[in-house]
Amino acid sequence: MRYSTALLPLVATAAAFVVPDEATAEQLVLDTEQQAAKPVSSWWDRVHSLNDFLSSAESTFETALDALEKQASKLSSSLPKVEFDIGSDITDFLPPSEYSVLGHGHGHGHVTNLTVYQTIKASNYTKKFAALVDDHPDLVKQLNSTSTNVTVFIPIDSAFEKIPHHDKDHKPPKEFLEKLVKYHVVPDFYPAGRVLAHHTIPTALEEEALGGRPQRLRVSVGLFGVKLNFFSKIAYANLYTKNGVVHGVDNILVPPPPAKTLISLFPTKFSTLELAAEKTGLKHHDDDDDDDDDDKHHHHHLTGLTFFAPTNTAFQRLGPAANAFLFNTEKGLHYLRALLAYHIVANETLYSDAYYGPKAAGFAPSLDLAYRHPSPTSTSDTLDPKIGEEEKEEVGAKGAKHYHLDLPSLLGDAHLAVDITRWYGFITIKVNGRVPVSIQDGLARNGVLQVVDHILIPPHNHKKGGAPTTAAAGAWDGEVDGEISVEELVERLEPYVNMDEGRKGEEVEVG
């Protein structure tokens, strides 16, 4: 199945959790991300250099954005149309007698008069997944119902052969299998074009650790096709059924693990972060372990989190003096703990294109996210609710869209200013105005990792001479890549360290 776009060279690739094999996952995700992210980042940095120049020349952001959109229009018209395949690996998903004539208005794909459930049962490629579904009557009913549309990413039979010990003697618990099947089901209509328009997709798996909100799938587009959770390739796309659409995938989609497990899978990225958490006693606590009454007294029950996870590179950029102080002195450990707390947002989960707010706030995000007020009419979790129900074959929409959120960190009253810009399907996230998210949407059971290659440090409350700084001044003085002196690090964190000393009994877990 071919889709045409002028924007393929601009497509962002980002690592997210994948399960089939931990060693393979680490090697594939990290190597691919390092190779793919550098040229994209370099291109986007040049765009922002132009943006900064125009902003200073015209003195307004609006003027700069308008000029950028005009240049984008010129760029779009000059780029050659590139065709790439989505789900062309299988051509006989159903027996020929089960296909209807190609439907009108559906674009690319085949049509059948079967329901989603009947399609799964009829295909010679999905016998093993069909057997899983049959064990759960409620799912059978949902996939057979014609009252609503559903989308299913069906793992083909060969996907099950990639799992070690997949015979009957090693069958997982029924509860886990039910969650597994639900993670492949999307309770909405997502043909291939709509899949391409999203970075994350909400599934039918309602995750308790996210406050009962949907666990999501990560979508990435590359030269070798469309992949979910950066590993499972869409091998067959757009079989339109009586009650939705199905796609075939070549690997089983497994719900992601807790954040602490996800971090531990990639020591070449996060070994310094793990060491910092261990040395400071910042708890990595699994939600399933809080049966103890004492634990419940001392720990908050999370309903989602956003962890701006600093990489080994981020710590290196602090410089040897700052690292020696933080990791090798008793005083420095208090500052290291405060530093880590500033990277964590509890009970709010921010994906690149969706936001789960505080559960108690009656979460219903809208375009007024900058003010953190729920919309009385919106029930959508997406940052861009304008994606229609019909399939859209264009990867991006014209014009840049900008969203701003002010998120409370675990460090006292210190907040994180987050800016998300969507431009032609390409999404960038910046924290405190200067620090880019290098790897977006690392899906976790209890939230999301947004990976940063620069340490986030609270801004000065006041500059020397009494002039206040903005909330976005989260990088230290000088270049973002520059080292920070121990003196300035202490000055930035000291008010929060003193505050933290009085709150030692109050823990929030990220695992």
Q: What is the pLDDT of residue 423?
A: 83
Please calculate the CA angle 338-331-465 and round it to the nearest 5 degrees: 70
Flag whether pLDDT at 366 surpasses 50.
no
Of the residues 223, 249, 275, the one at which a domain ends: 249
* The model's pTM: 0.75
Query: What is the mean pLDDT of the segment spanning 333-345?
Result: 97
Are 180 and 93 within one domain?
yes
- Do residues 274 and 232 both lie within one domain? no
Residue 112 has pLDDT above 50, yes or no: yes
Going 55 to 60 to 66 to 69, the CA torsion angle's sign is positive
Nearest CA to 459 out of 508, 416, 507, 424 is that of 416
Band (22; pLDDT cuts 50, 70, 90): very low
pLDDT for residue 419: 97
On whether both 159 and 304 belong to a single domain, the answer is: no
Range of the domain at 478: 259-501
Same domain, 321 and 464: yes
Q: Which residue has the higher pLDDT, 89 or 392?
A: 89
pLDDT of residue 86: 60
Domain count, the chain: 2
Q: What is the pLDDT of residues 119-131, one digit of tens each?
A: 999 999 999 999 9
**Domain contains 408:** yes
Residue 209: predicted pLDDT: 96
For residues 384 and 392, the model is more confident at 384
Write down the mean pLDDT value for the chain: 75
Q: Are 154 and 247 in contact (CB under 8 A)?
A: yes
Q: Over pLDDT 90: what percentage of the chain? A: 52
Q: Are 318 and 347 within one domain?
A: yes
Q: Each residue of 238-282: pLDDT tens digit?
A: 999 999 999 999 999 999 999 999 999 999 999 999 999 999 987
347 assigned to some structural domain:
yes
Q: Kindly state whether residues 244 and 265 are assigned to the same domain.
A: no
Which residues have C-beta within 8 Å of that of residue 468, sequence separation ≥ 6? 461, 462
Residue 376 has pLDDT above 70, yes or no: no
332 within a domain of the structure (yes/no) = yes
The whole-number pLDDT of residue 462 equals 52
- Looking at the DSSP bridge assignments, the partners of residue 152 are 185, 246
Q: Is residue 77 part of a domain?
A: no
Query: What integer pLDDT is reported at residue 302 of this predicted model?
Result: 84
Strands, E assignment, 208-284: 213-222, 225-228, 232-241, 244-249
- At 61-73, the pLDDT tens digits run 344 444 444 544 4
- Cα 36 from chain centroid (whole Å): 17
The whole-number average pLDDT for the span 197-212 is: 96
Residues 349, 456, single domain; the answer is yes
Residues 355 and 379 in one domain: yes
Confidence band for 47, pLDDT divided at 50, 70 and 90: very low
Structure confidence by residue, pLDDT tens digits, 418-448: 999 998 778 999 999 999 999 999 999 999 9
Q: pLDDT for 170-194, tens place per residue?
A: 778 999 999 999 999 999 999 999 9
154 and 264 inside one domain: no
- Residues 473, 493 within the same domain: yes
Does a structural domain hold residue 28? no
Full DSSP string of 110-134: EEESS-HHHHHHH-TT-HHHHHHHH
Tell me which of 202, 225, 249 is where a domain ends.
Answer: 249
pLDDT at residue 387, rounded to an integer? 33
Give the per-residue pLDDT at 346. 96
CATH of the domain at 131: 2.30.180.10
Tens of pLDDT, residue by residue over 476-501, are: 544 455 799 999 999 999 999 876 55
Query: Are 211 and 288 members of one domain?
Result: no
Q: Identify the residue with better confidence: 494 or 105.
A: 494
- What is the 8-class DSSP label of residue 34? H
Decide: residue 330, CB within 10 A, 0-12 exposed, 13-18 middle, 19+ buried: exposed
Pairing of strands 244-249, 435-444: unpaired
pLDDT at 224: 80
**What is the pLDDT at residue 248?**
96
Q: Mean pLDDT lowest for which of 29-33, 143-147, 359-363, 384-388?
A: 384-388
Q: pLDDT-based confidence at 33, cuts 50/70/90?
A: very low
Residue 39 lies in a domain: no
| pLDDT at residue 459, rounded to an integer | 86
Looking at the structure, tell me whether residues 236 and 264 fall in a common domain. no
Give the mean pLDDT of 212-225: 92
> Which tens digits make up the pLDDT trace of 306-323?
999 999 999 999 999 999
In sequence order, what are the residues at sequence separation of 6 or more whose Cβ sits closer than 8 angstroms to the Cβ of residue 330? none
